[in-house]
Amino acid sequence: MALNDPQWGNRKNGGPPDLEEMLRNFNRKLSGFFGGKGGGGGAAPGGVGGGIGLIVAIVALVWVGSGFYIVDSSQRGVVLRFGKFTETTQPGPRWHFPYPVETVEIVNLSQVRTVEVGYRDNERNKRPQESLMLTADGNIIDIQFAVQYVLKDPTDYLFNNRMTDDKEVVRQAAETSIREVVGKNKIDYVLYEARGQVAADTTKLMQEILDRYKTGILISQVNLKNAQPPQEVQAAFDDALKAGQDKERQKNEGQAYANDVVPRATGEAARLMQEAEGYKKAVTADAEGEASRFKLILAEYNKAPQVTRERMYIDMMQQILSNTTKVMVDQKNGNSLLYLPLDKLIQGANPGSTQLPDLQSAMRQGTVDQQAQQPGADSHARENALGRDRSARP
Amino acid sequence: MKPMTVNILVGAISLLVIASLSLFVVDQRQTAIVFQLGEIVRVEDQPGIKWKLPLVQSVRYFDKRIQTVDATEPERYLTSEKKNVMVDAFVKWRITDVKQYYNSVGGDVTQAQIRLMQTVVSVMREEIGKHTIQDVVSGSREKIMAVLREKTNADAKNIGVEVLDVRLKRVDYPSEISNSVYKQMEAERKSVANELRATGFADSEKIRADADRQRQVILANAYRDAQRLKGEGDAKATAIYAGAFSHNPEFFAFYRSLEAYKQSFKNKGDMLVIDPNSEFFKYLKKGAGK
């Protein structure tokens, strides 16, 4: 716009001028242009031949009318006078000097254009020669991405580069940029760590390159659609990823085991302690009870030792003999060998025991069912143990 | 009246014809050479309306914008370690000296591009031969491109062209080497995977072993404390028993023995084979004897 000749209008003010101003402009341009050829040029054929004058007037009107054009809000008009750039026109209805004096080229600025690199239309439609590239560590990587761009400067866009297709220019910049960026980084970095960074670096480099040629193109976005190892080694890479997850899983499993085992052990320890505490209390209480019982009996025993002794002995024998199976054998009466079917006798004494040999053997020792039935059995067992202790003592 | 209008018309038309023959337009994007009977008279490199002698002078236009030459297929180059790489590049160029350009390549774009590409390829052969493949891919990529631009530009001057940029696009292994690269990549991933799994196993084992150790320690400590508690209880009980029983040890022995007998024989399953001559049965026998 800055190239406006001072005598031509004043479009620098920005916003679209109204129709009135345009017409005024148009008049001024017209008179400015033909002004040099002496006044009244436009009205010359006035009084001469009415018919020819009318035709000339109509032709002139059509010619002038062909200079009207409309610039959409997404567009800019670039006006060339005899091939030389004169101004950029903003959106709105516009008029330029009709051909061959001025021509206008409409450039769509804000329309977002897209270039696909490594694929076309669909990500499955790959272009391996575009998508496969080398990384800094000598690996091959498969990248597909899309570049979105707009035009930022219509005159740069039109005048600086010969582009039959601006997509091709952007694609070349994209290819050289992505390969440079990827070539500087390791495969793991590109694949897993910094996709965003790769896209950002590519955007920056592309913009630098395009600005170097003053293409008037502005890269708005680089979308990495796909960054993956080539198909041939995909399985190995997937497996390595899975291995990473396996590692975590194994660790978690170990942790789960620890979380199970340690609290259980703590619980078990607490149980041991409680049991020991209980045992201590019980043993002491038993001892106290036993001791006081003994003391009381002893007091009575001391009053009549002989009788009490006799009575206690007989009581004991009665209790034993009434509870057990007994066979009385007078050894003095016969020297011959006496046959006693002990096992049969025992079985006869315990009718239910044949069914359960385990239980039977347990019963033979005389502890199991006794303990189950009598709460006091424990303490008796302990008495036995203590008895052993005591007998061991001097 | 009539002849006058005719005169005006004829005058206007002949003016138009003369104008169309002697005026020409140079576009913003173009530069023009004016020839007079095949000889270059002057160069019009500014846009605008220009004039020439009608009929004797003619005009040719040339694009002065930046143009691109893109290699159609990657070429094979040898790196300093004698490895093959496939490289392609594109060149950005524009006409700076249109006279030179016209004289050397006849103003033919295709020919200019072929010439440029030839230069680029031969410079690349030389440059890539000085570097390792690693360098070409990453380390010295920019340096190589700078050298390429410089050397190509120096040569391009001969055809009136300025080379703005030479950029490498693809730097790839030839397809027959790609396979061995894939194999190597696969092997490397496998080793990574194995290492990950092994360290995972190791980590897991460490955690488990630590847990087992903790359990063992906790249980052992608890057992120790529990046994001590039990011992305390036993000791106390023993003291109590001793305190009570020592009043009459002889009676204690008798009393305790009776208790023990009772506990020992109390089931039907306990079989006693009794001799009637024992002390207990003395009355049984006596009574019979009477």
- Which residue from B193, B210, B261 is facing A258, i.e. has the nearest CB? B210
Average pLDDT over residues A211-239: 90
Q: Which CATH class is domain A113-229?
A: alpha beta
ipTM confidence score:
0.72
Q: Do B269 and A353 touch (CB under 8 A)?
A: yes
Reported as a pLDDT band with limits 50, 70 and 90, residue B22 is confident
Residues sharing a CB contact under 8 Å with residue A239, sequence separation 6 or more, in sequence order: B189, B190, B193
In this prediction, residue B4 carries a pLDDT of 78
Is A212 in contact with B272 (Cβ distance < 8 A)?
no
Q: What average pLDDT does the segment A50-64 reach?
A: 86
What is the interface size between A and B, counted as CB pairs within 8 Å?
Answer: 359
Q: Which of A138, A380, A387 sits opposite B256 (nearest CB)?
A: A387
Chain A positions touching B93 (Cβ under 8 A) are none
Pick B67's closest partner by Cβ from A82, A158, A162. A162
- Is residue A374 over pLDDT 50? no
A190 CB contacts (<8 Å, ≥6 apart)? A135, A141, A143, A182, A198, A227
- What phi, psi does A102 have (nearest 5°)? -120, 145
CB-CB under 8 Å, A172 with B68 = yes
A321 contacts on B by Cβ (under 8 Å): 272
Collapsing DSSP to helix, strand or coil, B285 comes out as helix
**Among residues A307, A313, A286, A280, which one has the least CA distance to residue B244?**
A286
Q: pTM score, two decimals?
A: 0.65
Give yes or no for residue A384 having a pLDDT over 50. Answer: no
Amino acid residing at A388:
R
Q: Report A:259-278 residues touching B (Cβ under 8 A).
A: 261-262, 264-266, 268-270, 272-273, 275-277
Q: To the nearest whole angstrom, how far is the Cα of A110 from the nearest Cα of chain B?
A: 23
B188 or A18, higher pLDDT: B188
pLDDT, position A201: 93
Q: Check residue A366 and give its pLDDT.
A: 42
Mind listing the pLDDT tens digit for each residue in A174-222?
A: 999 999 999 999 988 998 888 889 999 999 999 999 999 888 999 999 9
- Cα dihedral: B76, B79, B82, B87 (round 10): -20
- How far apart, in Å, are the Cα atoms of B47 and each of A160, B32, B125? 14, 9, 41
pLDDT band at B161 (very low <50, low <70, confident <90, very high): very high
Q: To probe the interface with A, which of B9, B83, B204 has the most A CB atoms within 10 Å? A: B204
Q: Nearest CA to CA, how far is A131 from chain B (Å)?
A: 10
Using an 8 Å Cβ cutoff, are B53 and B45 in contact?
no
Contact B25 A100 (CB under 8 A): yes
Shortest Cα distance from A218 to chain B (angstroms)?
18
Q: Over the stretch B237-264, which tens digit does the pLDDT of each residue have?
A: 999 988 888 888 888 889 889 889 888 8
Mutation target for B interface from A129, A163, A246, A250: give the one with most B CBs within 10 A. A250
Residue-wise pLDDT tens digits, B63-89: 989 999 888 788 899 999 888 899 989
Q: For chain B, what are the domain ranges?
A: 2-63, 67-172
Listed residue (B107, B103, B114) closest to B61, CA to CA: B107
Asked if the C-beta of A390 comes within 8 angstroms of chain B's C-beta atoms, the answer is yes
Residues B165-197: tens digit of each pLDDT:
999 988 888 888 888 889 999 999 999 999 999
- Cβ of A232 within 8 Å of Cβ of B182? The answer is yes
Q: Quick one: closest CA in B to A301, which residue?
A: B251
DSSP-derived secondary structure for A161-220 = B--S-HHHHHHHHHHHHHHHHHHTS-HHIIIII-HHHHHHHHHHHHHHHHHHTT--EEEE
pLDDT at A373 over 60: no
- Chain B residues with beta carbon closer than 8 angstroms to that of A302: 248
C-alpha distances in Å from residue B182, one per residue of A124, A231, A236, A270, B78 = 21, 10, 10, 60, 21
Token code pair at residue B113: 């591009």
Question: Does A352 contact chain B (CB < 8 Å)?
Answer: no
User: In this structure, how many other beta carbons lie within 10 angstroms of the beta carbon of residue A219?
Assistant: 25
In this prediction, residue A34 carries a pLDDT of 47
Q: Which of A189, A245, A217 is nearest to B196 (CA)?
A: A245
Average pLDDT for chain B = 88
Least trusted range by pLDDT, from A162-171, A316-325, B181-190, B277-286: B277-286
Considering only residues A319 and B274, tell me which one the structure prediction assigns the higher pLDDT. Answer: A319
The token pair that represents A377 in the structure block: 């059995």
> Which residues in chain B have Cβ-Cβ distances shorter than 8 Å to A323?
265-268, 270
How many CB atoms sit inside 10 A of residue A229's CB?
22
Is the per-residue pLDDT at A165 higher than 60? yes
What is the gyration radius of the CA atoms in chain B, in angstroms? 57
Partner-chain contact A136 B240, CB within 8 Å? no
A289 pLDDT exceeds 70? Answer: yes
Say whether B277 and A282 touch across the interface (CB within 8 A): no
CB atoms within 10 A of CB B22: 14
Confidence (pLDDT) at A337: 64
- pLDDT for the residue B19: 84
CB of A385 within 8 Å of any CB in chain B? no
What letter represents residue A146's amino acid? A
Question: Between A48 and B176, where is the model more confident?
Answer: B176
- Please state the CATH superfamily assignment of the domain spanning residues B67-172 in this structure: Band 7 domain (3.30.479.30)
A254 contacts B206? CB cut-off 8 A: yes
Q: What is the mean pLDDT of chain A?
A: 77
Q: Rounded to a whole number, what is the distance in Å from the CA of B193 to chain A's nearest CA?
A: 4
Q: Which of B4, B24, B197 should one mutate to test binding to chain A, selecting the residue with the greatest count of A CBs within 10 A?
A: B197
Tell me what pLDDT residue A381 has.
43
- Identify which of A57, A179, A259, A116 has the alpha carbon closest to the alpha carbon of residue B89: A179
Q: What is the largest CA-CA distance in chain A?
A: 184
Closest partner CB to A52 (pick from B5, B214, B259): B5
For the record, the structure tokens of A211 come out as 């600005």
Give residue A359's pLDDT band: very low, low, confident or very high (50, 70, 90): very low
Residues A238-244 have a mean pLDDT of 91
Does the beta-carbon distance from A257 to B208 stay under 8 Å? yes
